[in-house]
Amino acid sequence: MSAKAISEETGKEFLYKHICTSAAVQNRFRYARVSNHTDWDRLAQDHPWLLTERLVVKPDQLIKRRGKLGLVGVDLDLQGVRDWLKPRMMRETTVGKAKGVLKNFLIEPFVPHKQEEEFYVCIYAGREGDWLLFHHEGGVDVGDVDAKAQKLLVAVDDKLTEETVTQQLLAHAPENRKQVLANFIVGLFNLYEDLYFTYLEINPLVVTSAGVYVLDMAAKIDVTADFLCKAKWGDVEFPPPFGRDAYPEEAYIADLDAKSGASLKLTILNPRGRIWTMVAGGGASVVYSDTICDLGGVDELANYGEYSGAPSEQQTYDYAKTILSLMTREKHPEGKVLIIGGSIANFTNVAATFKGIVRAIKDYQEPLQEHEVSIFVRRGGPNYQEGLRVMGEVGKTTGIPIYVFGTETHMTAIVGMALGQRPIPKEPPADAHTANFLLNTSSSAATPASSRTASFSEPKTAADATPAKKLKPGVPPAKATTLFSQHTKALVWGMQTRAVQGMLDFDYVCSRDAPSVAAMVYPFTGDHKQKFYWGHKEILLPVYKNMADAVRKHPEVDVLISFASLRSAYDSTMETLNFPQIQTIAIIAEGIPEALTRRLIKKADEKGVTIIGPATVGGIKPGCFKIGNTGGMLDNILASKLYRPGSVAYVSRSGGMSNELNNIISRTTDGVYEGVAIGGDRYPGSTFMDHVQRYQDTPEVKMIVVLGEIGGLEEYRIGQGVAEGRITKPVVCWCIGTCATMFSSEVQFGHAGACANQAAETAVAKNQSLREAGVFVPKSFDELGDVIRTVYDDLVASGVIVPAKEVPPPTVPMDYSWARELGLIRKPASFMTSICDERGQELIYAGMPITEVFKEEMGLGGVLGLLWFQRRLPRYACQFIEMCLMVTADHGPAVSGAHNTIVCARAGKDLVSSLTSGLLTIGDRFGGALDAAAKQFSGAFDSGLLAMEFVNKMKKDGKLIMGIGHRVKSINNPDMRVQILKDFVKQHFPATQLLDYALEVEKITTSKKPNLILNVDGFIGVAFVDLLRTCGGFTRDEADEFVEIGALNGIFVLGRSMGFIGHYLDQKRLKQGLYRHPWDDISYVLPEHMTM
């Protein structure tokens, strides 16, 4: 959703902070917010003017016409305000159809003034620009301002001047107020633009000799502009519409949505309702709500919401558990139903999202059974069969009634089943499996008669393209009637390899001669090649760093498919519009600010470029070209027969619903000729009528289907075209969102443009008008397919559509990764790992989620235990590991490892090279004695040798005892590192048999030479063996294996790396130059015969 209402307090704060005008704006920041929790003494301290001035008090909860409703207290002192609030605060009030509790009020200074000093000002956004309304008689009785007010359209990118305001808006304003009004209105309009308002109304605006007073204000801002306006907006609190409470669960889902690239929405309508929905897709969510209301469920509908845009399994789990938590709080005498619906997904992995839902169902198994919940599921799209399977399985294992249906079932049929108005099939027919696109599909079910006079696979003539017309100077170029052909070439902006591969597979199955993607543009890497498949063959597509290079090297390209982010889509599209060869641009991103979109539309119109989107999946022309992920994967392409043209063209707002239309049209007609999803924003780059007119001018199109929706007035132009005879082909149209008129409070549906700001924008009004104009309008979405079939059959009967033979498409191999996802193949893995898994929503160490690692404060020792030993070690063991790392971290610059690191650092090498240089010196002679000491001491101890026998044996064998001896430390000058570790081990370890044995050896060796002590390497080695053998987490064989494979040396390597890095940073910080060893520290001993 884009435009959101803000409180009057927030709106005035924006105005007072940021308006730039020479008009004297009075009472700046003089307002006080009160609720039932207000401390009145503190309030008076914070706002001393409350004690000295006459006051006005009113609710600040998005309530219209408060004065008419008697909800404004005027000319009161502070005690009078409190008395006025007593009977109203926290009391239920009815405003129109909405019932709500008054809980937030605003107190402001009372402004004495005359009626003739009240004015009305309003600014609101339209497609061509922003409308300014001004009326010289403002206030409570302003009446129908649309009919009365002076209007001025400020076109996109035009500047408003005081002169224009005075001439076109202020004709009836008092002469002595015109200059102040004009100056203020220009400042207000600039504020409106700078802060991305979409609606701003002041009524009344009072202008006296003292200055300008903003009495009452209502406003909406474009929330998608947050990344542009955050510094000016700050943290904005968006109040819910009056009559609906703000729930913490809504805020939780909004937070999930903000952190996700997917779309997650939730509005709670009736927490006690028995009908709950969890629908995938912005358009589909509206259709399900419509159907529930059409079947009489409006009073029991508990929520509106959607999840779409390929949410992860974890995100879907979080969303699902929120719904299940809400619906299992209060019982309903008739039990409850959960409708898990959706259209046919374009790119969302249905199985992955359903696994998240299944996890939530398992977690809530008992509450769901206790509340007698039945679940009805209908879904299609990538891997949907596996998703339906796991959903059916969880029903069997939990005993919860779960009914699952796929694309063979009409999208909204499950609503009738859930509400008991349609029988539930015992065994729904199953469609072909996703894997079937590996096979030749000539045996598939026959399609209805078609109008094709030539096979899709036959070569087309050059007449595919619309010839360019010569233009008069100053006249904008006309937009093409034919956007795509079998020879269309496109650039793809963004590293969307999956979408590109989907386009190439579509091209191949359509028997195109060459791929439709000429190249990709990706500014974040240098020019290179990217590998893709063309059927069985691997091909390389060029990737360019900038758009200019791409269009220069590929003059045949005339389409851009932009996967740029919402932040960069505007700039990249504006750049593209400077290249005349680009005639069509598809903008996939959702969330581009409306003001920026309108600038794109204006420039595209000037250049004669067609824009599809923003907020779209794109479009498809069967047999020719598809945009990105449109149409889904190959199984759906084949099932909906999108590999060859039909006779029906459609236009929709919703991407998901466009795929549903592909399915419906393929089942009821000879298929789709072309389909476009113009996008869900308020101002799509191209309109319904733009495409309907194209289809009217395209001879191969025999009938047109339009799926409109609530919001905007564009559908009326279609009715007008039909009524006036400009559109002569049969048009079937249905506008979704009919449920909105049944709700008591305003609901913003999933698409930004799906909100009615006036009666004419409601879906009910549009459907009625279209019906009256001669458009074929079904009674509900449920009947859309039936009406399409009837119109199609009539065209066949009248000979407009002539049957043609179905031609099977070529087979396309399945990608290995997808085949593996479906469980169709297996292959030995190149690597195996058992310590870590980063694939899910959360990083897992040896089975333990990273959040749990921090929650339990396991520390570095605990993490090392998980990753090295796959065990959760006792607390003392974790502490011992951390102590070992601390004592081995460094031992000065003179040791070989530190010396090497320093020399490398001074030679100008980078950190990794310098660190590696130091680490390569670690071995038996330096630092690597842990493993060797552990093996020698444990071998001797386990074989029953006495300490003296072990020492004598090593001497006899001519071997050093690893871990014994120190260059500096001795029995008389003990190593404090060893002493610290010894004290800890003796205090905390359950047993120290090997350590005790090593200390006996030390007594013998130090009696011979004082420096033959058990050094830090030896101590850690033997103590670690005691730890592994006695902590209770390992068998004896496991403990010995860790010693054998060299795990203990890892302690020294990890610890000493800290010191080496320290030496590297120290040398860089000290800016030490290249090291050269001094001659006087080198003994030059040459062979005698060389010195003679």
Positions marked catalytic:
751
Residue 275: strand pairing partners: 301, 337
Q: Report yes or no: 668 and 695 within 8 Å, Cβ to Cβ.
A: no
Closest CA to 411 of 654, 113, 641, 644: 654
Q: Report yes or no: 850 and 843 within 8 Å, Cβ to Cβ.
A: yes
Q: In the chain, count of helices (H) and strands (E)?
A: 38, 35
Sign for the CA dihedral angle at 722, 727, 732, 735 comes to negative
> CA torsion angle for 211, 217, 220, 225 (degrees, to 10)?
30
Residue 218: strand pairing partners: 201
Distances from the Cα of 1001 to the Cα of 155, 926, 1013, angstroms: 93, 21, 9
Measured CA to CA, the distance from residue 265 to residue 223 in angstroms comes to: 15
Closest CA to 282 of 253, 311, 304: 304
Measured CA to CA, the distance from residue 444 to residue 446 in angstroms comes to: 6
Give the HSE-up count for residue 190: Cα atoms under 13 Å, Cβ half-sphere: 14
Helix residue ranges, H only, 640-783: 655-668, 688-696, 714-723, 763-773
Helix residue ranges, H only, 802-871: 816-821, 850-855, 859-869
Measured CA to CA, the distance from residue 372 to residue 481 in angstroms comes to: 55
SS3 at position 965: coil
CB atoms within 10 A of CB 562: 25
Measured CA to CA, the distance from residue 396 to residue 375 in angstroms comes to: 12
Q: How far is CA 1077 from the centre of its chain?
A: 59
Tokens of residue 879, six digits? 């502490």
Q: List % helix, strand, coil for the chain (3-state, nearest 5).
A: 40, 15, 45
Q: Given strand 517-521, what is the order of strands in its sheet?
A: 528-534, 537-544, 517-521, 490-493, 559-562, 584-587, 610-612
Which residues, 6+ apart, have CB-to-CB distance to 155 below 8 Å?
Answer: 128, 129, 602
Sign for the CA dihedral angle at 126, 129, 130, 132 comes to negative
Residue indicated by tokens 């409601």: 762
Tokens of residue 710, six digits? 């609530």
CB atoms within 10 A of CB 131: 15
> Would you give the end-to-end CA distance of the chain in angstroms?
94
Measured CA to CA, the distance from residue 188 to residue 790 in angstroms comes to: 54
Strands 619-621, 610-612: pairing is unpaired
SS3 at position 521: strand
Measured CA to CA, the distance from residue 681 to residue 750 in angstroms comes to: 10
Identify the helix (H) or strand (E) that includes residue 836.
Answer: strand 836-837
Strands 559-562, 537-544: pairing is unpaired
Measured CA to CA, the distance from residue 735 to residue 784 in angstroms comes to: 11
Measured CA to CA, the distance from residue 985 to residue 1023 in angstroms comes to: 8
Sign for the CA dihedral angle at 656, 657, 659, 663 comes to positive
Closest CA to 692 of 576, 598, 577, 773: 773
Instruction: Find out whether the peptide bond into 59 is cis, omega within 30 degrees of 0.
Output: no
